[in-house]
Amino acid sequence: MPESPDKRKPAYMTRFILTLVLSAATNMAVAQVDYSTSDAPVPYIQPSETTIDGIMDRYGSFKGSVLNMTREEWDVFRAWEGYDQEEVKRILKEHKAKWQSEHAEEIADRKAHRMMVTTSGCDCWVEPDDTYTLITEDDQYYTAGAGINVDYSTAPIQMGFEFNLYGLVFEQFYLNSKGSVSFDGYTIDWTPEEFPVTTDEVAQIAGFWADSDYRLSGDVYYKITQNEVFVNFVDVGYYNQGTDLFNSYQIVITSEDSEYLPDGANTQMCYLNMDWAHGDVGGSNGCCGDSPATVGIDAAPDFGPYLQFGRFNTLDDIYNGPQGTGPEADDGVNWLDYRSFIMDSSEDSENLAPFPTANVGCDTLVMCLGNTYDMNLSFLGPEPNQTIAVTCTDAPGWDYTITEEDNLTNITGTFTAQPDNVGIQEITITATDDGVPIGETITTLVIEVLDIQLPPLSVEGNSAICAGGEVELTASGDFDEIVWSDGTVGNSNTYTYGGTFFVTGYLDQCTVEEEFYVDQSPYFLPDVVIDPPAVCPGQTALVVVDSLEQLEYSTYQWDPDWNGLGGEVASYVGDAGAELTAGTYRLLVTDEDGCQGQRVFIIETIGSYIPEVTIDPFCDGIPENVVFEGGYSSPQEGALLVYMSSNEDSGWGGSYLEVIINGEDSYICTSSNSFQQFDFDIAAGDEIEIVFYEDANIDSDVLSVSVYNCGFLNATQISDLSAGTIFTSASECEASPATGMWQCLSGPVPWSFSNVNEYDTEFSPSSYGLYEICFSEETCQTDYCYDIEITEEPDVTLTVLDDLLCNGESETVFAEVDDIGGTAELNWSAPGEDGVATNDYSFSNTTTYNASIVVTNGCGSASASIPLYSQYTPEPSLEDESLCEGGDVYLDPTSPDTDDLNFEWYLDGDLIPGEIAEEYTAVMTGQYCVEVTNQCGSAEACAEITIVGDIPPPLESMTIDCLGDGFASVVPDLPEGYTVVWPDGSTGPTWEVADASVYDGTEICLDYTDPFQCETNTVCSYLYIGLPPTIDPEPILVDDNGVDFWQWSNPFRLIEATPAGNNDGPHLTLCPEVEYDFDLNALTWNGTDWVDGAGEYEWWVECPDTTIYFGDPQDAMTVISSMLNQNCWEYGIALVGSAINPCAVGGIREEWDVIVDYCELTIPNVFTPDYGDAMNEDFHIEGLEVYDNVRMRIYNRWGQLVYSDENYRNDNAWRPNNGETGTYWYTMSLPNGFEENGHVTILRDN
């Protein structure tokens, strides 16, 4: 269920407040019965105007029409070609905003009251907030009748779920201004009908189908949730702009998945205070017409499923059942106050159970001692002619009465909280019908009585205020909190308008409520003096507040254009006076006590009636006379205007006027607004009587009548109204001519008037020509002027001396005009000057121009034209261009081209046969020329056209800079005009790159574009910035005491060089399977320092018949004999190592002379140290020189190691020094893994 509006209190307390308000509202409605049921007069319905002129005359302006038209006049207005929908919206928005601003406090108080007061239907009302959508003038998609803000419907609105109405499933709905939600179409019908027989036959839920009016008060809101739609009609007034009574009600529809409504229901109608029942069409003052409001549900079409709760027509709470109209069937709208209806409209049951008009069993009702709860609960039999039986259980303090009527049984009762019923009390009410099957409804009311005695609550202060004043009231009582009905919290509250209000005192969980009435006197009626009461157009009247009354007033407010009926304040005469033009005004005054008075008055327009006359030209000769007739200062027939004014916004209430003409024709005039106008047709000799009928509930001092009797000079103002005849007079209409003075201001003489002092006259001209005559009306000195044209149909021809105009020359065109009356207008084609017989033409461009003239008078027109040829000596122009390969060049020497030009085209000096067109397309290189001629001269233009072709790549595959200056300049080989974009985004013909930058040693790519933007290409190149590598090769050849050795430094190694077989120099002998390391020790410059290595290497040997390249070359190379072919052995060969980078593509080389040998050894078996000669002094092994790292072990005959060397060499061979002799055992390991074992004997000479 919706939240309780007062979140500070439990929901059940709010419901208790509601029931007290319900009772009070019902009593108020009963007090109105005497008036609302009396025989009401039949109101006079003023005939609608049927033309737009009549509407504008009646209401004075577009705005006045929008605010005051009847529905029939709206149909004429909307069909008018000058109708402006946006302007209508603007006027209506402004009109409503102004009224709401003036009544803002009352509107806010009504909202606060809604927020506090909830209904007997379990707080069914949900006050619209920011989550709701307000229907504005722009949302009113369909209109009829009085249109925007009155008779409208929205475009279909999607719900987002399915709603089931009697088995019909809908996904969208329409909001209708007449108080309903419809589904299969919109409905705009201001005459409600009884369900199920309706004219529009649309499925609808009628919350309150009546003639609503939103032009001043009332808004429609809606909100769509996942499973519910809420539609709220708030503070709705009645037609025609009734704002003294308001209705507020709500419609809720749900999906089958919703849990918002109880017991599977899908529809709810919820009502707050309901004040009016009928619009002013057929009714008055919000009631009592021939089309009562309808409340219910209708599936449509005729005789389909439906549910109707009533037809409401009176302003009381009498209920006569759901069907029928008329005195015995009409229902009182106050019966709906604070009721709610909850139902399941998805199915059409054979017999619906009795329907409660309220739900009293939502929550436990908490009461304190002395509290009373009044129940007024009815049960409806939805089906016709059913009898409803109601039973009720008893409880202490509960007194009730049950009454039965057709289709309705009512239970009324009062529960009083008293000491003997403290605790929980339950009251069960059961309603059954006599349908088949029997329907039964059970309602349970649970009451908790607390043992708390409530203190009294009283309201003190002056409860009478005047219009515009205010009063402060004080509530006293020992309560936790005091809340006033407008939402104000505290002991005091200020009221600025009258009405019935209440204040609530809260103590613990209980409340006490006190109702009070603020009596607001209406606006008093200030007296004004209007001099004169009617004015001529453009003149003003002086309006001054009565001089004696001025002493009482402190402020004055002059409001012009009241209700859109025209009028302007020309100037102010102090505060209490104003110069005003004709129109309708309101004067609002405030006295020293803050009380306000107002008067609405009219200043009408006077003057003789002069008919609108259109005089056609005379084309068949000179007329004998021209007749003027129909003007009068007082007519034989005219209008009786009756203006009803009220200082109350609600108008005249039940008071009214009866206008009687000739004792026979009687018209009833009522008004529900502050101003209402009526007009009646009268004629000379008519007798007029106006009778005032007084409603005792309306203060007649706030009412006034203005009567205009056949003209605005015959005005009567009546302010002191008393019941009975207030006006009697004969019609002031009489046939009097319009007087003044005729004059002929221009035209051929002689001429004459048959009567120069009256409008009705005959004017006699004498010849062809144009006469301007004027009648100056005597009353307002207004001039009415007429042109009389006497002539024949004209003729015209054009001539020129030379029709060719070269280089801006001027030429005169002559018009020969035949116009007997001299009245013709001469209209030349632009830029010619109108009204003259000749025109000079010149042109700043080449053109063919038709100079033309139209000669017009009242009898017809004639036209003529002549061509003029403007030419300029040609000035062709061509520009040199380049032609992209495969494209073409469009040559256009003149622009724009004109028909007078001739062309001849040439290529490289030769005429191009057949080429005479204005443009030429070049597809090849050459010089193109064109010669252009016309009647004013000739000229030539030429252009060089060049074909742009492909160029060679502007960079080599490698770009190398070996200068060593720290940067490289990359310069592509491009023709002049090409643009370049480098890898870093820079542009320019050269690109400087720093050594060791990110681009050094990478592939760079540049984009280059030809000067003519034909195409862009990309070229790439490997960029290298550096120096040639350096090498420090090993082994190197060194000399040791005349002996050549090959030396390695790391690790140190020394091998004696040997000559090759052809004795061509020292070689390095490579023994079988011995590893020899060759190292270039290359260094490369990285931009900042020398680092190890080179970019690439090559190693190879050059044998006599072949060159062998070694794979996977590195900086160092290990060579063994098995790597070489046998045909490379025993010969001197070259081993070459080469370090390569882009700065040394041929490499930095080192060459070693080597020989591959079997390296056989001759090991002696005896040697003779110290033998007397220098021979065989040590253990010398022949052939050992080519080995290094020879491991030698020598043992004596006892197996003892006597000598050891890891690098045994002949230059340091073993030689015993201690005179040893005998046989020794040796073991020798060669670097290739071979071993030699044997014995050697030492012999000595001693």
In the predicted structure, residue 174 carries a pLDDT above the cut 90: yes
Tell which phi-psi region holds residue 508, choosing left (phi > 0), alpha (psi between -120 and 50) or beta: left
In the predicted structure, residue 265 carries a pLDDT above the cut 80: yes
pLDDT at 1053: 81
d(CA 962, CA 955): 17
1025-1073 pLDDT, tens digit per residue, is 888 999 999 999 998 888 888 888 888 888 888 876 665 778 888 888 8
For 478, which DSSP code? Answer: S
Whether domain 795-871 has CATH 2.60.40.10:
yes
Tell which phi-psi region holds residue 106, choosing left (phi > 0), alpha (psi between -120 and 50) or beta: alpha
d(CA 469, CA 453): 38
Mean pLDDT of 115-122: 58
d(CA 395, CA 427): 7
Q: Select, from the ranges 136-140, 498-502, 885-889, the one with the highest average predicted confidence (pLDDT).
A: 136-140
In the predicted structure, residue 1093 carries a pLDDT above the cut 80: yes
Q: Which residues partner with 910 through β-bridges?
A: 907
In the predicted structure, residue 247 carries a pLDDT above the cut 90: yes
The tokens of 60 are what? 């004075």
In the predicted structure, residue 7 carries a pLDDT above the cut 70: no
pLDDT at 120: 43
pLDDT at 361: 55
In the predicted structure, residue 2 carries a pLDDT above the cut 50: no
When pLDDT is cut at 50, 70 and 90, the band that residue 511 belongs to is confident
Q: Are strands 242-254 and 228-238 parallel, antiparallel or unpaired?
A: antiparallel
Please count the residues of the chain.
1246
In which residue ranges of the chain is CATH 2.60.40.10 found? 458-521, 795-871, 881-948
Name the residue among 990, 1089, 1079 with its Cα closest to residue 1031: 1079
CB-based contacts of 309: which residues, under 8 Å, 6+ apart? 269, 295, 296, 322, 341, 355, 380
Domain 1166-1242 fold is: Immunoglobulin-like (2.60.40)
In the predicted structure, residue 799 carries a pLDDT above the cut 90: yes
d(CA 581, CA 864): 52
CB-based contacts of 934: which residues, under 8 Å, 6+ apart? 871, 873, 874, 898, 900, 901, 902
pLDDT at 11: 27
When pLDDT is cut at 50, 70 and 90, the band that residue 450 belongs to is very high
d(CA 732, CA 734): 6
The tokens of 1178 are what? 């040590």
Would you tell me which CATH number, out of the four given (2.60.40, 3.40.50, 3.90.79, 3.40.1350), belongs to the domain 528-605? Answer: 2.60.40
pLDDT at 606: 82
Q: What is the CATH number of domain 636-734?
A: 2.60.60
When pLDDT is cut at 50, 70 and 90, the band that residue 813 belongs to is very high
Judge contact between 178 and 188, C-beta under 8 A.
yes
In the predicted structure, residue 38 carries a pLDDT above the cut 60: no
In which residue ranges of the chain is CATH 2.60.60 found? 636-734
Q: Are strands 804-806 and 860-871 parallel, antiparallel or unpaired?
A: parallel
Work out the angle at residue 809's Cα, subtended by the Cα atoms of residues 804 and 814, and round it to the nearest 5 degrees.
65
In the predicted structure, residue 118 carries a pLDDT above the cut 80: no
The tokens of 383 are what? 């089906």
d(CA 379, CA 938): 108
In the predicted structure, residue 360 carries a pLDDT above the cut 70: no
Name the residue among 627, 565, 865, 850 with its Cα closest to residue 758: 627
pLDDT at 386: 78
pLDDT at 358: 67
d(CA 1156, CA 1122): 10
Mean pLDDT of 4-27: 28
Would you tell me which CATH number, out of the four given (3.30.70, 2.60.40, 2.40.128, 3.40.50), belongs to the domain 611-632+739-790? Answer: 2.60.40
pTM: 0.55
Spell out the long-range contacts of 231-237 with Cβ–Cβ below 8 A and sequence spacing 24 or more. Answer: 231/175, 231/181, 231/207, 232/126, 232/127, 232/128, 232/132, 233/179, 233/207, 233/208, 234/114, 234/128, 235/107, 235/110, 236/179, 236/212, 237/212, 237/213, 237/276
User: Among 7-11, 133-137, 666-670, 1027-1031, whose mean pLDDT is lowest?
Assistant: 7-11
301-329 pLDDT, tens digit per residue, is 766 788 888 999 999 888 887 887 888 88
d(CA 1238, CA 1193): 11
Name the residue among 1002, 986, 928, 962 with its Cα closest to residue 1143: 962
Whether domain 458-521 has CATH 2.60.40.10:
yes
CB-based contacts of 327: which residues, under 8 Å, 6+ apart? none
User: Among 25-29, 112-116, 831-835, whose mean pLDDT is lowest?
Assistant: 25-29
CATH class label, 365-452: mainly beta
| Helix (H) and strand (E) counts in the chain | 7, 93
d(CA 189, CA 198): 10
DSSP 604-667: EE---B--------B-SS--S-EEE---EEE-SEEEEEEEEEESSTTTTTT-EEEEEETTTEEE
When pLDDT is cut at 50, 70 and 90, the band that residue 961 belongs to is confident
468-483 pLDDT, tens digit per residue, is 788 899 999 899 999 9
Q: Which residues partner with 168 through β-bridges?
A: 165
Write phi, then psi, for 588 (nearest 5 degrees): -115, 120
Question: What distance lies between CA 1213 and its chain's CA centroid?
Answer: 111
d(CA 1078, CA 1107): 18
Give burial (CB, 10 Å; 0-12/13-18/19+) of 1044: middle
Share of the chain above pLDDT 90, in %: 43
The tokens of 775 are what? 């009648």
Q: What is the CATH number of domain 881-948?
A: 2.60.40.10
Name the residue among 1078, 1084, 1141 with its Cα closest to residue 1110: 1078
334-345 pLDDT, tens digit per residue, is 989 888 888 888
- Which architecture, in CATH terms, is 958-1025? Sandwich (2.60)
In the predicted structure, residue 456 carries a pLDDT above the cut 60: yes
Around Cβ 571, how many Cβ atoms within 10 Å? Answer: 10
The tokens of 140 are what? 């009113």
d(CA 826, CA 798): 12
pLDDT at 221: 98
Name the residue among 23, 70, 11 with its Cα closest to residue 45: 70
663-712 pLDDT, tens digit per residue, is 888 888 888 777 888 888 888 888 999 999 988 778 888 888 989 888 77
